[in-house]
A and B are shown apart, each in its own frame.
Chain A
Amino acid sequence: MHNFDFVKPSTIAEAVKALSDGDAQALSGGQTLLPSMKQRLAAPGTLVSLTGIAEMKGVCKGDGGLHIGAATPHAVVAREAAAHYPALAALAGGIGDPAVRSRGTIGGSIANNDPAACYPAAVLASGATVVTNKRQIAADDYFQGMFTTALEEGEIVIEVRFPIPQKAAYVKFNQPASRFALTGVFVAKFGDGVRVAVTGASNNGVFRWTEGEKALSSSFSADAVKGLSVDPAEMISDLHGTPEYRAHLVKVLTGRAVAQANG
């Protein structure tokens, strides 16, 4: 790692001030950032830890849904969201491994927007709102492609607000080495329709499978997507799977997620 100055503010205001220096970078759980810094792929002059900011931690019921502080570790979400939004809690409990879940946070995950990360699928499928120190961003506007988000320089995620669907489930098919999603599908059924978000599959990062949503909105059953096909054109090709395989998995996993959501 290149050396850097380490600061650990205890309030959002202090963190925002520390990050106003162009050479500063926010450190959340560090489960992705620190490995890339070890490879010297990232070299901030100042690293601003967000782990000491109490106001960015916690899971609570709020206006219209479940509010999760951006610095809340996956393990805490898995535990504390279970009563309110079981599908989200299950997703959090399946990220990485237990030691990663002790440190990794929802804010870190969606700020990074790894194309194979789990949380972006939950945020997008839930139609969640990403609250930053500056504004509120709708999930549909927040994710802008692989490792790209609507966040601006110096802007940090404070909280994510999840509307709670009537039914939901997330099914992940593991990439066998990293245990990230080779493909993962989050299905959420709301009163006004169904949202389906897919991670791991596309060169454009997390996306909504609108054709699947349409079919499921008229009939929320695993059979509803059986006749559909997913275009492999934009899918990722790597040593773990072809675009065709990933396209196929989108359909299979959507069906499984619906079946699971229907219990």
Chain B
Amino acid sequence: MAKLTMTVNGKTVSAEAEGRTLLSSFLREGLGMTGTHVGCDTSQCGACVVHVDGQAVKSCTVLAHDVAGADVRTIEGMANPDGSLGKIQQAFQDHHGLQCGFCTPGMVMSAAALLAENPKPTEAEVRHHLEGNICRCTGYHNIVKAVLAASGQDVSKIAAE
């Protein structure tokens, strides 16, 4: 066990962690921040995506000690300062981009990373960017729509009917 310090959603946090502690475990068990989910063990599903120093990473495939001192952002840090839903979160609610909600934290974090580097993505770019985030509920239709809407694009033509 060794002490580990990092910044999570703007706050400096410290906890003891073994060498084998994954970032996802450190967040969930070490810090009690259970918004980040773990949906697989082969680095495929993306439910665990968080940002480390601005980059989207799969927190189940990063050792916590390897990102000591880093600036980490999770789903718990995505709302507006007043607690209302952030732009991407709001678009997911407006366009029914989630059902069971389990993949949602990773989806939102991946979408945020996309829009940070590509503020007006095409539908194909959104789909390609989200290939590392598996959703079993929505068929992605409304997730893609939500991400496009969050980028400020008109999605009224992408109707369900």
Contact = CB atoms under 8 A, between A and B. Distances in A.
Contact of B46 (A27, A99, A177): A99
For the complex, would chain B's binding face be called helix, strand, loop or mixed by DSSP majority?
A: mixed
Interface stretch (A1-9, A192-200, A244-252): A1-9
A82 interface: no
Interface in B114-161: 114, 129, 131-133
B49 interface: yes
Interface of A: 1-6, 8, 27, 30-31, 34-35, 37-39, 47, 49, 51, 75, 96-100, 102-103, 177-179
Contact of A49 (B42, B49, B66): B66
Interface of B: 2, 18-20, 22, 41-44, 46, 49, 52, 55-58, 61-63, 65-66, 68, 110, 113-114, 129, 131-133
B46 A30 contact: no
Interface centre among A4, A47, A97, A103 (most CB of B within 10 A): A97
A34 B21 CA distance: 11
B62 A30 contact: yes
Given A34-B61, A49-B66, A179-B131, A98 B56 contact: yes
Given A8-B65, A8-B68, A99-B110, 6 more contacts: A35-B41, A35-B42, A38-B41, A98-B132, A100-B43, A103-B61
B110 A30 contact: no
B20 A49 contact: no
Interface centre among B18, B42, B62, B63 (most CB of A within 10 A): B63
B61 A30 contact: yes
A38 B2 CA distance: 20
Contact of B20 (A3, A39, A177, A179): A3
Given A31-B61, A49-B66, A103-B57, A3 B44 contact: no
Contacts of B46: 97, 99
Nearest to A8: B66
